[in-house]
Amino acid sequence: MSRVKVASFGMSIDGFSAGPRQSLEDPLGIGGTSLMTWLFPTRTFQQMHGDGGGEVGTDDDFAARGFVNVGAWILGRNMFGPVRGPWRDDSWKGWWGEAPPYHMPVFVLTHHARAPLVMQGGTTFHFVTEGIHAALDAAKKAAGNRDVRIGGGADTVRQYLQAGLVNEVHLALSPTLLGQGEALLAGIDLTALGFKCAEHVTSRRAMHVVLSK
Residue extents of the structural domains in the chain: 4-84+97-206
Question: Model-level pTM?
Answer: 0.94
Kindly give the confidence (pLDDT) of every residue in the chain, 213 residues in length, as a single tens digit, with 9 standing for 90 and above. Answer: 789 999 999 999 999 999 988 877 888 889 989 999 999 999 999 988 767 789 999 999 999 999 999 999 999 998 988 878 888 878 888 878 888 999 999 999 999 999 999 999 999 999 999 999 999 999 999 999 999 999 989 999 999 999 999 999 999 999 999 999 999 999 999 999 999 999 999 999 999 999 999
CATH match of 4-84+97-206 with 3.40.430.10: yes
Give Cα 173 distance to the centre of its chain. 15
Between CA 118 and CA 126 the distance in angstroms is 9
C-beta of residue 29 within 8 angstroms of C-beta of residue 35: no
Q: How many CB atoms lie within 10 A of CB 162?
A: 14
5: nearest Cα among 71, 94, 95, 77:
71
